[in-house]
Amino acid sequence: MTKSMHLRVWTPGEVILDADCVYWVKLDLVDGNIGIRPGHAPLLAETISAPLRYGDEDGEHSMILEAGLLHIDQNGVTISTSSLADTAPTDERRNGVEAHYSLLAQTLLTKLNAQSGQSVENDDR
């Protein structure tokens, strides 16, 4: 018998997916992608707007979710999101991720400058 886990995807207003007997889950996090199988270590991570893929006894399934939170524990995988995503072209999603990281970098530079009293320059690398 193949091991399986529970997968739940929900928004504040509804449960989008509540599936038992899931064999694997793949999705994108802010710092990379992740593959999850039954018995995965506990984890709490931030997801980006991207496809969620999972496999069960009926085959492979996919849906595009807005950014949210991933929670893995002994009960399975739970993803909290605001909604299913509009299917934006890949370039638009990539630009959104780049804008997110650019904002994070600028915030970090501002905080470093405030702490050090010196000006740290952003050379756009």
Point out which residues pair with 111 in neighbouring strands.
none
Tokens representing residue 20 in the block = 């038992």
Q: Give residue 96's pLDDT band: very low, low, confident or very high (50, 70, 90).
A: low
Residue 21's closest CA among 4, 38, 36, 37?
Answer: 4
**For position 98, what pLDDT does the model report?**
75
Point out which residues pair with 59 in neighbouring strands.
56
Sign of CA dihedral 55, 46, 44, 106: positive
pTM of the model: 0.66
CATH number of 5-81: 2.60.15.10
Instruction: Decide which of 122 and 67 is more confident.
Output: 67
DSSP conformation class of 75: T
Domain ranges of the chain: 5-81, 88-120
Residue 109 CA to residue 27 CA, distance in Å, equals 30
* Count of CA atoms in the C-beta half-sphere (13 A) of 71: 11
| pLDDT(125) > 60 | no
Residue 103 CA to residue 34 CA, distance in Å, equals 24
Residue 71's closest CA among 43, 47, 36?
Answer: 43
**For the segment 5-60, what is each residue's pLDDT rounded down to a tens digit?**
999 999 988 999 999 999 999 999 999 999 999 999 999 999 999 999 999 999 99
